[in-house]
Amino acid sequence: MQAAAMKIGSTEILDTFAEAFRMRYTRLVISAIDDYWLDAALNELCGYGSSVIACDAEVGVDQRIPASESPDGRPAAVVLAFGFSTEALSKAIPNRVGQCVMTCPTTAVFNGLEEAEETIPLGKHLRYFGDGLQKSKVISGTRYWRIPVMDGEFLVEENVGIGKGVAGGNIILQGTDQITALNAARRASEAIRDMPGVIAPFPGGVVRSGSKVGSRYKKLVASINEAFCPTLRGRVETKLVDRANACYEIVVNGIDEEAVASAMKVLLNEAAGDGVLAIGAGNYGGKLGKFHFKLHELLK
């Protein structure tokens, strides 16, 4: 006897799973004199940080911190950055902070993983920009570097912690038309924007060019997932349900398995609605990623 379909309202939740991977991450706390300059730094730091298929790291804002709770009493935000290895992050993070945050007026950078088993150098690396005129100060066992810049000093911690995170949790929603699907994707991505411990690193938290592993072109490690492209229906084997004319994917990275699972549950509930015919997820048959997030189990 066939099991009854699982639904949220009129939206069918497909019996599939999202396949995610172990990745390393770091947690930076960025502060600035006000929200304008904080936003300027965050936009630069998180740019070109959607997928490690081509980017040096997957980067996004985790949450905002009010001035009363920030390390230096100013507006601040937590940024999470994910990479395949500690070595990869040890290159990406100093480069991004040096180019995107140190250059931004009034900013400072603090380590957000104080009890991490691994660390990478940050201020220890960036201090050389001070050309020998930089100074350091140890407070409660933590070394900070004060690098002279044209509006005063850029304050940055010597090292930042590295943790073991989970990347690649996802949902794929199918809508009757582009606007319906886009509105669903937006409300879902906005619903997890302030959830602690997770980021959705793609533009606006949404992916329209979902990918598969491999390509007919030998130099490409990934290419378009044609099974979800409505314009290719009839030319390739499709995974689109009847009447679906637009698909969007939302990818979630988190500090641990529980954080990703919680975010995916929110995504499923928020994306469902009128005109959203089905929600599934992307996977590789369970052969590549260690973590399998089964949609039906998330909703039980």
Annotated domain spans of the chain:
6-20+165-299, 24-163
Q: What pLDDT is stored for residue 4 in this prediction?
A: 65
In this structure, is the dihedral angle defined by the CA atoms of residues 182, 183, 189 and 194, taken in order, positive or negative?
positive
pTM of full prediction above 0.85: yes
| Backbone angle region of 137, left / alpha / beta, with phi > 0 → left and psi within -120 to 50 → alpha | beta
24-163 to CATH, choices 1.10.10.10, 3.30.830.10, 3.40.718.10, 3.30.70.520: 3.30.70.520
Cα–Cα distance measured from residue 227 to residue 282, given in angstroms and rounded to the nearest whole number: 11
Do the Cβ atoms of 36 and 28 come closer than 8 Å? no
**Domain 6-20+165-299 - what CATH class?**
alpha beta
- Say if 6-20+165-299 and 24-163 have the same CATH topology: yes
For the chain (300 residues), the mean pLDDT of every run of 10, in chain order, is 78 98 98 98 98 96 97 98 98 98 98 95 98 97 97 98 98 98 98 97 97 93 96 96 98 98 98 98 91 97
Q: What pLDDT is stored for residue 61 in this prediction?
A: 98
